[in-house]
Amino acid sequence: PPLLPIALVGEAILGQTAIAVQHFNAELAHLAEQMSACMEAAKGVGIAAPQVHSPLALFIMASRPNERYPDAPNMAPVVVVNPQIINVSSELVSGEEGCLSVPGQRFTIQRHQAIEVRYQNLQGEWQQTELTGFIARIFQHEFDHLQGITLLERSL
């Protein structure tokens, strides 16, 4: 089956606040599968539902070592639904980011080094955990997408 098209910066959906997921059904699981396929094909480490023209508060994050973050952990993709950022470290770190909605460009972005987060999985079960480093960076990037914020608004 074809890959979902990826919204480019400037498209309205990328500037909107995402809608909370209410129904943890097969349709949601199917959307998550399609998003994963898109992310893999684009060699991304994350993707948010608005980037595939869905208004839902849902993203996928997956870390793997890469030339910019050679010590990034190898992490199986995680589906994050209805995320909240509960606490953030005062420590900020600058790092390079890309965005599938701003193809071919890199930006230097400051992010919190550590964050405390809460989110639901595909079964609707709440998870709470602390994230640090590159994974915390990915979470903050995807969380921004759900608030209608892209890295263009954060670029130094």
Ligand X SMILES: O=C(O)C[C@@H](Cc1ccccc1)C(=O)SCC(=O)c1ccccc1
**Residues acting as catalytic residues:** 142
The listed partner (ligand X, Zn ion, none) that binds 52, CB under 5 to 8 Å by sort, is none
User: Is 108 or 128 the residue whose CB approaches ligand X more closely?
Assistant: 108
Q: Which of 7, 44, 54, 77 binds ligand X (CB under 6 A)?
A: 44
Q: Which of 6, 32, 79, 99 binds Zn ion (CB under 5 A)?
A: 99
Instruction: Name the one range near Zn ion by CB under 5 A: 22-30, 99-107, 109-117, 123-131.
Output: 99-107
Closest approach of Cβ 24 to ligand X, in Å?
23
SS3 letters across the chain: CCCCCCCCCCCHHHHCCCECCCCCCHHHHHHHHHHHHHHHHCCCCEEEHHHHCCCECEEEECCCCCCCCCCCCCCCCEEEEEEEEEEECCCEEEEEECCCCCCCCCEEEEEECEEEEEEECCCCCEEEEEEEHHHHHHHHHHHHHHCCCCHHHCCC
Closest approach of Cβ 60 to ligand X, in Å?
9
Site string for ligand X, 91-120 (x = CB under 6 A): -----xxxxxx-------------------
- Using rule CB under 6 A, residue 79 touches ligand X: no
